[in-house]
Amino acid sequence: MSTPSTATSNSPAASASGEPVILTRGLAKTYEGAEPVHALRPLDLQIDRGEFVAVMGVSGSGKSTLMNLLGCLDTPTTGSYHLDGVEVADLTRNQRADLRSQKLGFVFQGFNLLARTTAVDNVLLPLLYDRTGRIKKPRDRAVEALTRVGLEHRLDHVPSELSGGQQQRVAIARALVNEPAVLLADEPTGNLDTRTTVEVMALFQDLNDAGITILVVTHEPEVSEYCRRVVELRDGRLIRDETVEDRRDARRDLATDTPLIPLPE
């Protein structure tokens, strides 16, 4: 059950601080070509520290385009974007890369782990790109991150020795190791079965309860029920922005074995 709000207003979650970590004004992306594609129409979006937002929409609606802009992986055609108070448009390519490594953690559908590399070394990777030197004792930090996702007993396993859910938890640990301001996840449960999906959502809920801001792109309405707010795109426009009421508690669903989607006989 959700309460509709107007598409232009913001609906900070109960635990959010009211301090914008993501703030866009007229942010838009057009892919030029023989036929220009308006992948994202001018968008005003505010996401506050501590929010947990699902980004929904049919294929081609602009979700990845938006995530790539918010993730500083791509530059907008027009508009402004403040990430944790920094105007991204004013930055050089290298400064954008630094901002990305300091402020953002990424989780992808396909895990994107290095195949011949142990869990702990996969998690260490982002620290190798951190040029600020703010992370002391990187290996300890990697072990801490893996402990946080419940994989302290799998530090030296390579991805092929881990289940899909465990591989995604390694990827989440890798996204967390820099202590990012925001965790951006594009279809993180797209390759996982139902129970493993709920396990990953339980982890996200724990992390969000600990104060981490999370944005997750998903096709699955069930996944959005674990988030605090849902925004939906269609044809590059924001068509829905709602607070999730009575949101589901993933730990409770796991304990009671509540089926998310009825299983085939």
Ligand X SMILES: Nc1ncnc2c1ncn2[C@@H]1O[C@H](COP(=O)(O)OP(=O)(O)OP(=O)(O)O)[C@@H](O)[C@H]1O
Q: Which region, judged by CB under 6 A, interacts with ligand X, from 9-17, 61-69, 86-94, 163-171?
A: 61-69
**Among residues 4, 8, 26, 31, which is the contact residue for ligand X, using CB under 6 A?**
31
The answer to the question of residue 34 lying near ligand X (CB under 6 A) is no
Burial 185-216 (b: 16+ CB within 10 A, else e): bbbbbebbeeebbbbbbbbbbebbeeebbbbb
240: Cβ contacts below 8 Å, ≥ 6 apart: 4, 7, 56, 230, 231, 232
Residue 137 C-beta: closest distance to ligand X, Å: 38
Residue 236 C-beta: closest distance to Mg ion, Å: 13
**Among residues 11, 64, 68, 122, which is the contact residue for Mg ion, using CB under 5 A?**
64
154: Cβ contacts below 8 Å, ≥ 6 apart: 119, 146, 161, 162, 166, 170
The answer to the question of residue 57 lying near ligand X (CB under 6 A) is yes
Q: Nearer Cβ to ligand X, position 22 or 202? A: 22
Q: How many C-beta atoms surround the C-beta of residue 3 within 10 A?
A: 9
Reading the block at residue 158, the tokens are 């390579």
Beta bridge partners of 217: 55, 186
Q: Nearer Cβ to ligand X, position 43 or 143? A: 43
The answer to the question of residue 65 lying near Mg ion (CB under 5 A) is no
Q: Nearer Cβ to Mg ion, position 108 or 226? A: 108
The answer to the question of residue 62 lying near ligand X (CB under 6 A) is yes
- Listed as own residue / partner, the contacts of 95-102 with beta carbons closer than 8 Å and 24 or more positions apart are 96/72, 97/72, 97/129, 98/131, 98/132, 99/72, 100/71, 100/72, 100/73, 101/126, 101/129, 101/130, 101/131, 101/178, 102/130, 102/132, 102/178, 102/180
Q: Which region, judged by CB under 6 A, interacts with ligand X, from 54-62, 127-135, 237-245, 256-264?
A: 54-62
The answer to the question of residue 189 lying near ligand X (CB under 6 A) is no
Q: Which region, judged by CB under 6 A, interacts with ligand X, from 59-67, 116-124, 164-172, 249-257?
A: 59-67
- Which of ligand X, Mg ion, none does residue 65 bind to, with CB < 5 to 8 Å depending on kind? ligand X
Q: Nearer Cβ to ligand X, position 164 or 190? A: 190
In the complex, which residues of this chain contact ligand X (CB under 6 A)?
Answer: 31, 37, 39, 57, 59-65
The contact set with Mg ion (CB under 5 A) reads: 64
